[in-house]
Each structure stands twice: as C-alpha cells, then as structure tokens.
Amino acid sequence: MAAHRLRQSVGRLFAMGPELGSGRRAFSAFQAFTEVLRLPSKQLTKLVFPLEELHEHFVPGSRPDLHLNIFHPSLEDIARAESFFTASARNRIEYLTSAVRLDHAPDLHRPEVCFIGRSNVGKSSLIKALFSLAPEVEVRVSKKPGHTKKLNFYKVGKYFTLVDMPGYGYRAPEDFVDMVETYLKERKNLMRTFLLVDSVVGIQKADNIAIEMCEEFALPYVMVLTKIDKPSKGHLLKQVLQIQKFVDTKTQGCFPQLFPEEASSALTPSSH
C-alpha cells in the first residue's frame, strides 16, 4: 500500500521541482529518487518503509498490548526533506563551529535540532548520510566509540541548525552530563531532539538517562532505531515492539512513531 501511494505521487514530484530546489544537482537528486520508485513493490517498501515490511510478520491480535505505529510520509514530504539537505548557491549547508559548553555555543536564531545517542550507536554515520548531498561538509566517522567530544553545529540552509552531540556511555567526555544536560535544558531555540537507539540491543540503562532528561525538560523528541539491517527479522521485530510499548506507556514527549535507519543503506536523506 505504501509503495503504491508513493508511485501515485511521481507526477506531483516533478511538478514541485522548481519549488523544491533549483539547479542541476538538486534535480538530479529528485531523479535519483524516482529511480527508487521504479523498484518492485516489495523491494521499494523494504527500502522506504522498512517497519511496514516488518509489520507483515506480526500476527494481529496475538499480543493486544503490542503494536506498531507506522510513519507514512508522502512523496512530497520526502522530496521536500531532501531539498533541505541539497546544497546549492541559495541553500548553503556548512559546518559552523564546535563548543564544549553551552556558553561557548553560537548565539543563533534559527531553530535547532540535535542528535544524541549512546557511543557507537551510529550517530555520526547518520548525520554524514544526511549531508551526502553536501559533500563539502565534513562529518568525521570513527569505528572507535566516543569519537565526538564537543557540540558540533551545522547550518542547514535558512531552515535550521543541526547539532551533533557527544555520545554517552563508553568513552563519553568527562563533563558529558554538564555539557549535554545544560544544552537540553537551556537552549531556547531547540525544537526537536533525535534520540538514537541501537535496534540490536534495544534501550539500555544509559539510554534511559537521556530519555529521562528529555522527559524532565519537556522536550519533544523522536526515537530513531539504528542498524535495523543487522539483527534477524525475528529479533528486530521483538526489539521494535518492546521499544514501541515503552514509547506508548513510559513517555510523554516522544513522537509516537519510531524512525528506522539502516547501517548499510544508501547515503541519501531519503534513505533515512
């Protein structure tokens, strides 16, 4: 069903071309996405709506207390999101600065979104993927946990600022709590927090601390499930259902739908 709805919108995507972004590079990004739309329905659903494919393996009514909330962005939503991350002369995407404390952070008036997660959860890889249409923006990715030690600020056109937070848990900065808690509590233009959870191991004790901070400070946040291509479908379904139940019963400010991300997916914003 989701794949069918996407294909119905192809014409509207090209009609939106001038509105979404100018330049050969932006249009080529939209053309690349239409290539994805030509995939067989099952393959398309797996790539664009991986949780919907997973939902097919869940027997309705087998556990009344467990269910999945599936997020269904329209093709226009996906294309518009991709245009935000497509660098052009009119849409500058760039690294701004880094800070070790909030009082060192730049005084910016644009809305901010931040990405936070346990060390080695795949945060830097996801941010690098989001900036794949702006290759001049360098996001360092390391195989060693705890690589990010500062708050890193990136300008995303005229739309917002993206903040890459240090990872918590193993090899976290010594002043992690003061640095991150102060930012989450006092940053006035922080509009949304993306909290990354490893789908292989689920919500860990360190994740609970980050969740508690988001809840205590009444922050709107989204739970992003990383590495969904790593575990078996059975194990992934179990983890996803448990995390969904946690979101439904233990949180107030978390977005009801889970956002999946594949470790090996093509590095484009529409893949995430």
> What pLDDT, on a 0 to 100 scale, did the predictor assign at position 33?
62
> What pLDDT, on a 0 to 100 scale, did the predictor assign at position 113?
97
List Cα–Cα distances, 30 to 11, 39, 190, 205, in angstroms.
Answer: 12, 15, 29, 41
d(CA 42, CA 181): 43
> What pLDDT, on a 0 to 100 scale, did the predictor assign at position 26?
44
Q: Which two tokens stand for residue 5?
A: 């709805």
Other Cβ atoms closer than 10 A to 161: 21
Query: Of residues 226 and 33, which shows the higher confidence score?
Result: 226
> What pLDDT, on a 0 to 100 scale, did the predictor assign at position 270?
44
User: What value, to the nearest 5°, has the Cα angle with vertex 187 and ends 184 and 190?
Assistant: 80
> What pLDDT, on a 0 to 100 scale, did the predictor assign at position 251?
96
- Any domain includes 228: yes
Each residue of 57-88: pLDDT tens digit? 665 565 666 677 777 777 788 888 888 999 99
- Any domain includes 17: no
Q: Which domain holds residue 108?
A: 68-260
Cα 130 vs. chain centroid, distance in angstroms?
8
The average pLDDT across 135-158 equals: 78
- pLDDT band per the 50, 70, 90 thresholds, residue 160: very high
Query: Given a cut of 90, is residue 154 above it in pLDDT?
Result: yes
pTM of the entire predicted model: 0.80
Each residue of 16-43: pLDDT tens digit? 444 444 444 444 455 556 666 677 776 6
Mean pLDDT is lowest, of 178-182, 186-190, 227-231, for 178-182
- Any domain includes 48: no
CATH code, 121: 3.40.50.300
Query: Given a cut of 60, is residue 203 above it in pLDDT?
Result: yes
- Any domain includes 49: no
- Any domain includes 191: yes
Strands 221-226 and 190-198, sheet pairing: parallel
- Any domain includes 3: no
- Any domain includes 26: no
Q: What percent of the chain has pLDDT over 70?
A: 67
Mean pLDDT is lowest, of 94-103, 126-135, 166-175, 199-208, for 166-175
d(CA 260, CA 51): 7
110 near 163, Cβ under 8 Å? no
85 near 268, Cβ under 8 Å? no
- Any domain includes 57: no
Domains in the chain, number: 1
